[in-house]
């Protein structure tokens, strides 16, 4: 009887440990699948639903807006229905909808589950988006890449979330600057940031910008011979990050692409009437950037090792704290993000030319602008990350 009890006890413990080992192995296998997981989502030629889209993207951001926008990205707190919908044969529609409280608007922040790195087998990575983005005074839509070294970001922390439901544990807890998660990093800009589309206040201009630690990268845009550091300096700096030339679009839609190579990033745009599915084109089965007409190249930035130091008198104090030992011009673990904020530090401070620009922006979006902003949307017809 005693021997049987010992045997059963040993069996239970052994079985429990075996289950833990198998679960840990499966978790590691699942999370490892997210690095350089290339994909194409083409709503025009392939049938997709919201579930297939959610396999590639988180559709919630359970934190407050890092840009101080008057929006709620937390899906669990949305008061509006049908915020993100898929229309077959057409695309994903991600909406902005007015609320009746001081949170202002429910909005969207879509973050790719996969993250990307350059290496021996991936020396050129192409990001492509075809669709349209919302436009109105007070709006700040963006399509961009953001990196981080944090374990939550790369799913190497045992509590990392890999679904919207798991991200709900962060809802209402902490601030964006002290609560890292799978969709939010607190070591920005240590992994770098690349802004492929940024547009504010309904203007017809697209901005391309790169953000890094001061010690990481200097830049030279469009072979102009001018060297610019890519750090965010103090608020008096007229050029936070480093930026290329603005370019004008007639419509707030079309095809955009970003080609990422070591020490070089190139930004492209095709108007809606351009043929983008021709052989070698951005939406073809085998894109050939080297064959693209020069007129589609809007900005090119060459990245150089900086040699600068982080200085609390010149740079933001938090940036120096996040940028310890970041002395190589290298972008790491880049995730793709689509979002639209409202007002915020850039659109709000540039809403008008007065000293009360930020306040005026918020007055507008709660007043006469409310009916104009409500139900605006970003449409994603095609999105891809391709290893060339």
User: pLDDT digit string (tens) for 75-122?
Assistant: 999 999 999 999 999 999 999 999 999 899 999 999 999 999 999 999
Find the mean pLDDT for residues 361-366: 98
Question: Where are the alpha helices (H) located in the chain, listed in sequence order?
Answer: 2-32, 50-54, 164-167, 317-322, 357-366, 370-373
pLDDT at 22 over 50: no
The answer to whether residues 352 and 147 touch, using CB atoms and an 8 Å cutoff, is no
Query: What pLDDT does 295 receive?
Result: 97
pLDDT at 170 over 90: yes
What's the predicted TM-score (pTM) here?
A: 0.91
The answer to whether residues 381 and 363 touch, using CB atoms and an 8 Å cutoff, is no
20 and 58 belong to one structural domain: no
Query: What pLDDT does 160 receive?
Result: 84
Find the mean pLDDT for residues 65-73: 96
Find the mean pLDDT for residues 337-345: 97
26 and 52 belong to one structural domain: no
CATH, residue 331: 2.60.120.200
The residues with which 265 forms a beta bridge, in sequence order, are: 260, 301
Find the mean pLDDT for residues 39-53: 94
pLDDT-derived band at 235 (thresholds 50, 70, 90) equals low
130 and 231 belong to one structural domain: yes
Query: What pLDDT does 65 receive?
Result: 97
Find the mean pLDDT for residues 117-133: 98
pLDDT-derived band at 323 (thresholds 50, 70, 90) equals confident
pLDDT at 7 over 50: no
- How far is Cα 108 from Cα 97, in angstroms, rounded to an integer? 10
Find the mean pLDDT for residues 198-204: 97
19 and 143 belong to one structural domain: no
**Minimal CA–CA distance to 126: which of 336, 278, 381?**
336
Query: What pLDDT does 308 receive?
Result: 85
pLDDT at 5 over 80: no
Tell me the residue range of the domain where 24 lies. 1-32
7 and 128 belong to one structural domain: no
1 and 105 belong to one structural domain: no
24 and 69 belong to one structural domain: no
The answer to whether residues 378 and 170 touch, using CB atoms and an 8 Å cutoff, is no
Find the mean pLDDT for residues 275-288: 97
Query: What pLDDT does 180 receive?
Result: 96
pLDDT-derived band at 8 (thresholds 50, 70, 90) equals low
Question: Where are the alpha helices (H) located in 226-383, listed in sequence order?
Answer: 317-322, 357-366, 370-373
CA atoms within 13 A on the CB side of 32: 6
Non-local (6+) Cβ contacts of 271 within 8 A are 249, 250, 251, 254
DSSP state of 239: S
Non-local (6+) Cβ contacts of 298 within 8 A are 206, 208, 244, 245, 247, 267, 268, 269
91 and 127 belong to one structural domain: yes
Q: What are phi and psi for residue 259, nearest 5 degrees?
A: -105, 120
pLDDT at 18 over 80: no
Q: What are phi and psi for residue 63, nearest 5 degrees?
A: -135, 165
Find the mean pLDDT for residues 241-266: 96
216 and 332 belong to one structural domain: yes
pLDDT-derived band at 152 (thresholds 50, 70, 90) equals very high
pLDDT at 228 over 50: yes
155: Cα separation from own chain's centroid: 17
Q: What is the mean pLDDT of the chain?
A: 90
2 and 144 belong to one structural domain: no
- What number of other Cβ atoms are within 10 A of residue 133's Cβ? 26
* Number of domains within the chain: 2
Helix or strand run (H / E) with residue 340: strand 335-342
- How far is Cα 352 from Cα 294, in angstroms, rounded to an integer? 35
pLDDT at 9 over 70: no
99 and 19 belong to one structural domain: no
Angle at 302 between CA 298 and CA 304, to 5 degrees: 155
**Minimal CA–CA distance to 36: which of 120, 92, 131?**
120
- How far is Cα 328 from Cα 319, in angstroms, rounded to an integer? 16
pLDDT at 21 over 90: no
- How far is Cα 94 from Cα 107, in angstroms, rounded to an integer? 8
The answer to whether residues 230 and 307 touch, using CB atoms and an 8 Å cutoff, is no
The answer to whether residues 305 and 217 touch, using CB atoms and an 8 Å cutoff, is yes
Angle at 41 between CA 36 and CA 43, to 5 degrees: 175
State what percent of residues in the chain have pLDDT above 70: 90
21 and 119 belong to one structural domain: no
């Amino acid at each position: 009887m005693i021997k049987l009890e010992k045997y059963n006890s040993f069996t239970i413990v052994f079985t429990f440990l075996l289950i833990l080992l198998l679960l840990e192995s499966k978790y590691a296998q699942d999370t490892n699948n997210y690095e350089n997981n290339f994909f194409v989502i083409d709503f025009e030629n392939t049938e997709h639903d919201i579930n297939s889209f959610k396999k590639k993207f988180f559709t919630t951001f359970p934190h407050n807006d890092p840009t101080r926008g008057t929006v709620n990205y937390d899906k669990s707190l949305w008061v509006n229905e049908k915020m993100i919908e898929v229309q077959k044969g057409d695309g994903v529609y991600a909406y902005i909808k007015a609320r009746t409280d001081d949170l202002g608007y429910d909005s969207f922040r879509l973050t790719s589950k996969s993250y990307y790195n350059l290496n021996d087998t991936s020396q050129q990575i192409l990001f492509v988006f075809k669709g349209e983005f919302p436009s109105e005074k007070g709006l700040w839509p963006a399509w961009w890449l953001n990196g981080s070294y944090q374990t939550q970001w790369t799913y190497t922390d045992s509590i990392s979330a890999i679904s919207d439901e798991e991200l709900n544990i962060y809802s209402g807890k902490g601030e964006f600057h002290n609560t890292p998660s799978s969709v939010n990093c607190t070591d920005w800009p240590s992994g770098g940031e690349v802004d492929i589309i940024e547009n504010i206040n309904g203007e017809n201009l697209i901005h391309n910008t790169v953000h890094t630690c001061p010690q990481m990268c200097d830049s030279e845009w469009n072979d102009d011979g001018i060297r610019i550091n890519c750090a965010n300096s103090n608020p008096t700096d007229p050029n936070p990050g480093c930026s290329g030339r603005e370019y004008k679009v007639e419509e707030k839609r079309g095809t955009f692409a970003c080609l990422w190579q070591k020490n070089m990033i190139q930004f492209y745009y095709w108007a809606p009437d351009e043929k983008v599915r021709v052989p070698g084109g951005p939406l073809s089965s085998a894109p050939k950037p080297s064959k693209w007409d020069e007129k589609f190249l809007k900005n090119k930035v060459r990245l150089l090792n900086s040699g600068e130091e982080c200085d609390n008198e010149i740079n933001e104090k938090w940036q120096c704290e996040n940028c310890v030992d970041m002395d190589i011009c290298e972008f790491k673990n880049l995730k793709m993000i689509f979002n639209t904020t409202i007002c915020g530090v850039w659109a709000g401070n540039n809403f008008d030319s007065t000293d009360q620009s930020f306040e005026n922006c918020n007055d507008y979006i709660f007043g006469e602008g409310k009916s104009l902003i409500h139900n605006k949307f970003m449409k994603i017809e095609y999105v891809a990350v391709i290893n060339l």
